[in-house]
A = this chain, B = another copy of it.
């Protein structure tokens, strides 16, 4: 029986030589182990799942064990007779990823190990001034996180910073209106301070990665809509995240007229369904205050609990706008699930019906294959966690790099 995994097949570009073959099969085996997640997988099962023979699996497993990328669990058998199978699973020590995130009023840092488990999660107030101060704060947090990781036998192999906005070359923040950043080379700045490779990624994309890990392999085709001020959509399609996906959902047109968006156009989704816009539409009460800035979703939730009728109307309007934008997305991309992430996770119960209504109206496909809309379990922390996962994911995708490090 083939076990489900996130992605089995390594991509081999270029010629394969004998050693390339070896590397390929090692990656294949490793991913199978990673895909097994909670349930440790035995050597025989690996042989069946990968199509390799048992001797080959033995050799590869030995190599992975020597590198301490995987560990042998105690003998665990499902029932039959015979020698019990030895479970193999990812090591909980060794390589780790460090994620950083900048939210409205708070910085966060997160360390995950190879298994995707969160081992460290820390928050700090966000320094108000320009990029320099923020990057300094992030670097300090990152330093603390690296030592905390080392104390648990974890080696941080890479850092990823999540930012709300488009990114160029995995390093330069093109434009992040929520931060007031424009063409900031955050990758180089942090990399210089930390002495580690730093990638910069879009927060919605990274949030989708975290939700994907958390949800398990059944979730193969979905978007995760998230954001506080900007609205982004992370995509997983056919069990993979897509290079070339921009996901700037916030600037999809959902209505005519209205106030101009930061982008200059009118009718952008953000102006109807951004959390700040929802607050403003509900009567502007408290918008701009510190506690609202810290978490506008909580502020909205509080208003709802207080029974404010205007916030319900604003949420309804936001749901319609989100529904229209998501309908456009779902018409273009064949996903079967929509996760409401970030701040929307908290507000999902007031949004889902309205979104569903628009999807049913505007997406032909819902007639024969329904689209599910549900809150994303990780909520606002998804982006940091996703950033950390993306950093360690490089080892997961190609463990040969980690092996090479040991042979030196």
The chain A residues found within 8 Å of chain B, CB to CB, are 8-16, 18, 21, 24-25, 28, 50-52, 166, 174-175, 221, 233, 237-238, 242-249, 251-256, 263-265, 268, 324-325, 327-335, 361-365, 367-368
B251-A254 in contact (CB<8A) = no
Query: With A8-B13, A51-B15, A364-B263 in contact, do A237 and B248 touch (Cβ < 8 Å)?
Result: no
B246-A331 in contact (CB<8A) = yes
B254-A243 in contact (CB<8A) = no
Query: With A21-B21, A245-B334, A334-B245 in contact, do A251 and B363 touch (Cβ < 8 Å)?
Result: yes
B246-A334 in contact (CB<8A) = yes
Distance of A263 Cα from B365 Cα, bound (Å): 10
B16-A16 in contact (CB<8A) = yes
Partner of A332, one of B14, B249, B365: B249
Query: With A12-B12, A364-B166 in contact, do A253 and B334 touch (Cβ < 8 Å)?
Result: no
B25-A15 in contact (CB<8A) = yes
Query: With A52-B15, A253-B327 in contact, do A238 and B244 touch (Cβ < 8 Å)?
Result: yes
Distance of A28 Cα from B17 Cα, bound (Å): 12
B52-A361 in contact (CB<8A) = no
List 18 A–B pairs whose Cβ atoms lie within 8 Å, in order of A's numbering.
Answer: A8-B14, A11-B11, A15-B25, A21-B21, A175-B367, A221-B244, A237-B243, A237-B244, A244-B334, A246-B332, A246-B333, A248-B365, A251-B331, A252-B328, A253-B254, A265-B362, A325-B328, A329-B332
Partner of A13, one of B9, B233, B249, B255: B9
B362-A332 in contact (CB<8A) = no
Q: Please indicate the chain B residues that have their CB under 8 angstroms from the CB of A334 in the complex.
A: 244-246
Partner of A256, one of B242, B255, B362: B255
B256-A256 in contact (CB<8A) = yes
Distance of A75 Cα from B25 Cα, bound (Å): 41
Most chain B CB neighbours (cut-off 10 Å) among A51, A244, A245? A244
B25-A253 in contact (CB<8A) = no
A249-B331 in contact (CB<8A) = yes
